[in-house]
A and B are shown apart, each in its own frame.
Chain A
């Protein structure tokens, strides 16, 4: 005869309800975060050329000023140091744009089919959530940490393929990565289930906070404006380009003026900084 523990039944009911709620919140967050990130990537693609040219010209102007000041106050040797510093700063700026390009390149808005799949994936993914289960075994805990990291990274970058791989076959995903195997099924131990319920509740609060933070961001504000009025995107990009072009004209004139001043002082008409 099977005797069911009423506490166990009650806990399982609460855990199931918490998982449903968590899955809803996670899929809504994944979707909205994807929309915002995809818009950020669009903005970057439109403005990169102008912003990069502006940032590099700002550096040229700034370092030519420093070069002149140093030349007049400390002499040629110290001024040469400014040239080296400029080269490093310029390389940093270039790298910053290349890194952002690499980060933004893969950001695209999920299709309607993918968004609807995300919901079903999260219903499976929340069942893998057992943060306290492996606390006594460092190797298993490491696997669990890597798995949740993979999920979170995929969530933040809208990587549905990785979410799919983990949701459909978490043990296979762990094996393919050579991590220590862990049992992701539910336990019958009362204290473990109690801990799981508490963790699920904490996770629900965390994702609500993450969603609130997303909605407070300027990126989200811009996303809402563009959702309401899609044609505003081109207008805003054109206005930004116009503003940057005005600044570029001023920067180029200033860079040239400083160059002439340096040439007059040094008698060297080789390119000086930039």
Chain B
């Protein structure tokens, strides 16, 4: 079984024995981490970020499926899963702030083809892929 990043291994100098033993290994660590991440999202629906499009510092409101700019005049909505690929919180933050993130791997097109692309927020607040000119993929969602 792999080590658990959850608990550092502590050595008791007195007894000379390794004491705080990680329990449950990789599997339990992932399960607990997943539950905690969901809990944090539920507890903190506010996502502190400066909108790269409207410049609002009000932040974004997040749900399971998407992040919305809290400025009611701004229409940016970033989905947490795009083309079958889940975006990480860091990627979403970069996308909102810089209006572009990537290129990122692991997207899948409608006809099941894997591809890499950057994601960009256009001036009209729509999200688009930025992909190689050679690619035959549809650039819109």
A-side residues, CB < 8 A to B, are: 37, 40-41, 43-44, 47-48, 51, 96-97, 99-100, 103-104, 107, 129, 131, 145, 148-149, 152, 156, 199-200, 202-203, 205-207, 209-210, 213-214, 217-219, 221-222, 225, 232, 235-237, 239-240, 243, 250, 257
Contact = CB atoms under 8 A, between A and B. Distances in A.
Contacts of A145: 16-17
Nearest to B84: A250
Contacts of A96: 1, 25-27
B28 A43 contact: yes
A219 B20 contact: no
Nearest to A36: B23
B38 interface: yes
B112 A257 contact: yes
Given A44-B31, A47-B31, A240-B38, A129 B14 contact: yes
A225 B19 CA distance: 26
A43 B31 contact: yes
A96 B83 CA distance: 32
Interface string B1-35: 10000111011111111011101111111111111
Contacts of A210: 10, 12, 19-20
Interface in B102-131: 112
B140 interface: no
B86 to A, nearest CB: 9
Contacts of B1: 96, 99-100
Most chain A CB within 10 A, of B1, B25, B39, is at B39
A15 to B, nearest CB: 13
A206 B25 contact: no
A104 B16 contact: no
Contacts of B112: 257
B36 A104 contact: no
Contacts of B23: 37, 40, 103-104, 107, 156
Interface in B28-55: 28-36, 38-39, 42-43
Nearest to A107: B23
A206 to B, nearest CB: 4
